[in-house]
């Protein structure tokens, strides 16, 4: 474990993270180009929803990633406390902005999709409301980092926010099964057969890969900024 932590030391990590963004950016451009062609041109329209189904290619990956990022932030914040390693908090903090943006994208594109499908822009439905609550947790997390000056206090507060917020993640996942919702049940299941056709699954996976690469790019840029900020303080102490 000590070896892993030594490898994760900011001084060593920066050598990789400072060079990685340009490669991630190049890869993102390639994958998103293929994804957009697939999503907007080559994938078929749905027999019920017609072309409006194409909104799924931005809505679903954004929702998946925002949930994934929040879960990772909770895991990292908790690990930071258990292993007394501040780098975990720094990684969690660097993930948060893209998590919030993906959450907002999921909400807004869901709302746009809702109009032609359900006839309304918004409904206080269990899935939509729980996603909105997740956005509030992201917001509280980011605001906490901005307003609290005391380092130890902010680590405690942000960990508490993620620990309370994580309760909402399984609620989001199972809301469509536990309650009667306007939102459709999951079409993709890891453990059982998915109900989505491969001609739609392929573009969805490509777009998900593109969104993952974009969140990685933003994470790397934000993490490098945080490390430079620390080094700026280090220069003040010289």
Partner 1 sequence: MINELIYMNGYGPYVWSAFLFTFISFTSLYVVTKIHYVKEKNKFESKFGALDSKKAEVARSQTINREILSRTSNI
Contacts of 98 (CB under 8 A, 6+ apart): 65, 69, 214, 215, 218, 219, 222
Q: How far apart are CA 166 and CA 75, in angstroms?
A: 10
The half-sphere exposure of 30 on its side-chain side, counting CA atoms within 13 A, is 5
Contact 126, 178 (CB under 8 A): yes
- In whole angstroms, the minimum distance from the beta carbon of 178 to partner 1 comes to 27
- In whole angstroms, the minimum distance from the beta carbon of 109 to partner 1 comes to 4
Residue 71's nearest CA partner among 163, 174, 189 is 163
Q: How far apart are CA 90 and CA 237, in angstroms?
A: 21
Residue corresponding to tokens 């909105």: 132
Kindly list the distances between the CA atom of residue 168 and the CA atoms of 37, 63, 80, in Å, as whole numbers in the listed order: 35, 14, 21
User: Does 112 help bind partner 1 (rule: CB under 8 A)?
Assistant: yes
User: Does 197 help bind partner 1 (rule: CB under 8 A)?
Assistant: no
Indicate the residue among 93 and 166 with the shorter CB distance to partner 1.
93
Q: By rule CB under 8 A, what string of x and - marks binding of each residue 31-50 to partner 1?
A: -----x---xx---x----x
- In whole angstroms, the minimum distance from the beta carbon of 150 to partner 1 comes to 21
User: Does 86 help bind partner 1 (rule: CB under 8 A)?
Assistant: no
Tell which one of 31, 55, 92, 213 touches partner 1 (CB under 8 A): 55
Q: Which residues bind partner 1 (CB under 8 A)?
A: 10-12, 14-15, 18-19, 21-22, 25, 36, 40-41, 45, 50-52, 54-55, 58-59, 62, 97-98, 101, 104-105, 108-109, 112-113, 115-116, 214, 217-218, 221-222, 224-225, 227-229, 231-232, 234-236, 238
């Amino acid at each position: 474990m000590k070896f892993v932590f030594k490898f994760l030391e900011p001084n060593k990590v920066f050598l990789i993270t400072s060079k990685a963004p340009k490669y991630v950016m190049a890869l993102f451009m390639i994958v998103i180009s293929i994804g957009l062609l697939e999503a907007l041109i080559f994938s078929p329209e749905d027999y019920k929803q017609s072309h409006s189904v194409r909104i799924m290619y931005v809505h679903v990956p954004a929702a998946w990633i925002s949930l994934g990022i929040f879960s990772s932030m909770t895991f990292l914040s908790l690990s930071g406390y258990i292993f007394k390693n501040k780098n975990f908090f720094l990684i969690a903090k660097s993930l948060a902005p893209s998590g919030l943006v993906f959450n907002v994208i999921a909400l807004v594109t869901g709302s746009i999709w809702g109009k032609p499908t359900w006839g309304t822009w918004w409904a206080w439905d269990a899935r939509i409301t729980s996603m909105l609550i997740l956005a509030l947790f992201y917001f509280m997390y980011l605001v906490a980092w901005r307003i609290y000056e005391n380092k130890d206090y902010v680590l405690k507060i942000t960990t508490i926010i993620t620990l309370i917020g994580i309760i909402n993640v399984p609620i989001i996942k199972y809301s469509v099964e536990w309650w009667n919702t306007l939102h459709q049940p999951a079409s993709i299941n890891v453990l059982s057969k998915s109900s989505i056709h491969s001609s739609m699954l392929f573009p969805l996976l490509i777009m998900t890969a593109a969104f993952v690469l974009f969140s990685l790019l933003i994470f790397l840029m934000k993490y490098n900024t945080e490390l430079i900020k620390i080094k700026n303080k280090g220069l003040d102490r010289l």
